[in-house]
Amino acid sequence: MNKPSAQNAAGVPALYRLARAVAHIAQLDGDHATAIPALTVHRRKAPTEPLHCIYGLGLGVIAQGHKQVMLADEVIDYSPGQSMLTTIDLPVVSHVTRASLREPFLGLVLTLDARHITQLASEMDTAQRPRERAFQSISIEPLDEALVDALIRLVEVLNEPALVSSLAPLIQQEITIRLLAGPHGAQLRHLVAVGSPRQQIAKAVTWLKQNFTQALHVDELADRAHMSPSTFRQHFRAITGISPLQFQKQLRLQEARQLMLNQNLDASNAGGLVGYESPSQFSREYSRLFGSPPQRDVRRMRLV
């Protein structure tokens, strides 16, 4: 499903200021951590190949360029003037679709804290709200001037290192409040609703991320979520787009890929470390996800 574009929703001057602020921090191609632990900034001088990755709870904003994200069978295009909220850890395929040396892709990702969201949501007036929208794991909404202004201030405070620890938490709180009060608010409230299926699945996803090398017993996960196995599977697929077993496989295979890239492990050792007992099964499932056998894929990745 292609999402509609909302270019210029936040106004050209504000987006230009955001692009300029991001470009000042991200002066070279790549993904850049910052002195604000929750904030990363990103720059690309050319379109990129599709990359398998995990999107966590957070806000993604493009200041310049375009990007495409694929979640299961859903294709999401988003661009300057839009914000992307991810409310649960999700395996996706993403790539920059428009970037050049003259106009590089510039964007940021702000990781959100579920406990902070819960606290602020409980303090805000939620009475007499219109009917909430259906829950979406990823939602795209137009940016408004106030949110863009807060994001600009968050990036620009990095230029004043002595003030980061004092001001950044205040600006991050403002951003969370604006998200709760704006179009993304319904999705955040769905996420933190106590005892809701979304919250139970989020807990199951967190457990899977921390224990993906262990054998998967869906009945035990369902019991943790206080659901029958069939209901658990249904909610898990509705929220993440894939089954619990497929989710675990993607976690294992992405971790094995990183082990081979960063620690120069061979396929057999990497597969064993992430929970595979059979090297042939590991190679087969790796090829199915990434399109090439492990060693060939790693060689290609090092050339990118």
pTM, two decimal places: 0.81
Residue appearing with tokens 């709200």 = 129
Q: Which pLDDT value is given to residue 4?
A: 37
Phi, psi of 51 (to 5 degrees): -125, 130
Q: Which pLDDT value is given to residue 115?
A: 86
Name 109's bridge partners.
40, 60
Phi, psi of 129 (to 5 degrees): -80, 150
Assigned CATH class of 194-304: mainly alpha
Return the closest-CA partner of residue 256 out of 225, 228, 220, 289: 289
Domain ranges of the chain: 12-190, 194-304
Q: What is the distance between the alpha carbons of residues 37 and 33, in angstroms, rounded to a whole number?
A: 7
Q: How many CA atoms lie within 13 A of 46 on its CB side?
A: 3
Characterize 195-204 residue by residue with b for buried, 16 or more Cβ atoms within 10 angstroms of its Cβ, and e for exposed.
Answer: eebbbbbbeb
Return the closest-CA partner of residue 8 out of 79, 105, 98, 109: 79
Pick the CATH number of 12-190 from 3.30.70, 2.60.120, 2.60.40, 3.30.2390: 2.60.120
SS3 127: coil
Q: Which pLDDT value is given to residue 125?
A: 67
Name 90's bridge partners.
55
Return the closest-CA partner of residue 115 out of 46, 219, 199: 199
The alpha helices in the chain, defined as continuous H runs, are 12-25, 114-123, 145-156, 161-181, 185-192, 197-210, 218-224, 229-240, 244-263, 267-273, 279-290, 294-303
Q: Which pLDDT value is given to residue 304?
A: 66
Per-residue pLDDT of the chain (304 residues; tens, 9 = 90+): 444 334 444 545 899 999 999 999 999 999 999 999 999 999 999 999 998 998 999 999 999 999 999 988 889 999 998 999 998 888 899 999 999 999 999 999 999 998 899 889 888 865 445 555 667 789 999 999 999 999 999 999 999 999 999 999 999 999 999 999 999 998 888 877 766 788 888 889 989 999 999 999 999 999 988 899 999 999 999 888 899 999 999 999 999 999 999 999 999 999 999 999 999 999 999 999 999 999 999 988 887 6
Q: Which pLDDT value is given to residue 190?
A: 82
